[in-house]
A and B are shown apart, each in its own frame.
Chain A
Amino acid sequence: MKTLDCDQVLSMLDELIDEAMEPSDARAAARAHLETCPGCRAELESAEKLLVAARSLPRSIEPEHDLWPGVVAGIEGSRVVHGTFDRPPASAARRLWLAAAAAAILVVSVSIAYMAGLEQGQPRSAEFPPTSPPQTYMEAAYGDLAVDLEQARNQLRASLDQRQGELSPETWSVVMDNLDVIDSAIGRIEIALADNPNDGRLNRQLKVAYRRQIDLLQRATRLPAEV
């Protein structure tokens, strides 16, 4: 039975108190650790206390006001609308999608093709569709053109920043948070590459991460205005 350290046991805390862990080596190892580690035991007890407290909360709470009149109003159809209308032919409708800067897209398409070519050094098990004419076309058209990925990212990022006022705060924070997720993955791969600069696998993973980053930037730049 292998020994576990505090971090490992603490990461299993939820499974332990939820009885979700089948009897296993991991569970026995966690038990063994807990027998000798007062710090982790304290964490476990605090987690169990919280669970007991949560389960003891009253599940029925009477509302302060009688809500029945509101319910009656609803079931007697006052919320249901009526009236149809005859629509005249449509006037020019507001377009949802904004086009990104053409230059940025061109740079991006080339970079993606370039990186896709590099990624193909290691065969992907699933290609969809099986043959990809657009990629080979791009490669044929641009050959070994070394594209400045940094430039592509900066251009897209600048386009995206200009749009901050048009996207809802929620969407903006989802996009920013996820760009951070990718940035941090890139950071970790770069650190690993510093120790192993010739590791083909790491280089490929870095290219994949750049591609995901550019994909997300591009998607975000083309999002419809919400505000």
Chain B
Amino acid sequence: MVIPLCSDRRPPMAGPVNPHPASALSRLVERAAGGEVEAFEELYRQTVGRVYGLCLRMCGNRSLAEELTQEAFIRAWQRLPSFRGDSAFSTWMHRLTVNVVLGHQRSAGRRQARETAAGEEWYSDGSARQDRPGIAVDLERAIARLPERARTVFVLHDVEGYKHTEISEVAGMAVGTSKAQLSRARHLLRKALAS
């Protein structure tokens, strides 16, 4: 029997509760757009978790994720004056981050990505991998090991809740490719987790 899954789209900023109400946030954005570094730092503190989480999962590599997180915020600072507030700041920042990661993957990233054993970097925190059982950890590592395009689509679709048409727009790939890559990612992950 087909069990329908909850299909509502996850909100872009699910996670730690934001103690600042929306109007305070938009004032922060205004001040940051006007050039106030302190306001921008506050925005940074509030959003760095989401940005870094997205980068880390899309790259599978901590040091690269850190670099790209910084790049995303630098670019956000440069583009903030043109942010018109017609979408939530978090959505705008999310899109921008995706673009930064994909841009990197397209140009410089290829050789580095191949040379780094993607799954290894995820756990470069000193603890032995064997001490950490559990499906969440295995899943993260398996995602990090996916081929780049498959990983991109899987993270955007199944983790972040993008639709294929949105992935097609932001990643510049055909909808057909997005679906094929998702299928491939899911298949590879199920195989990796079953073994």
Contacts and interface: CB of A to CB of B under 8 A. Distances in A.
A62 B15 CA distance: 11
Contacts of B160: 59
DSSP majority for the B interface? Answer: helix
B135 A35 contact: no
Contacts of B186: 14, 47, 50-51
Given A57-B139, A59-B15, A64-B125, A14 B183 contact: yes
Interface residues of A, number: 41
B74 A75 contact: yes
Contacts of A56: 136
A140 interface: no
B56 interface: yes
Nearest to A41: B1
Interface residues of B, number: 54
A55 B74 contact: no
A41 B52 CA distance: 37
B120 interface: no
Given A68-B41, A72-B37, A46 B190 contact: yes
Contacts of B7: 18-19
A82 interface: no
Nearest to A71: B73
Interface in A197-224: none
Contacts of B15: 58-60
Given A58-B53, A60-B50, A71-B44, A53 B136 contact: yes
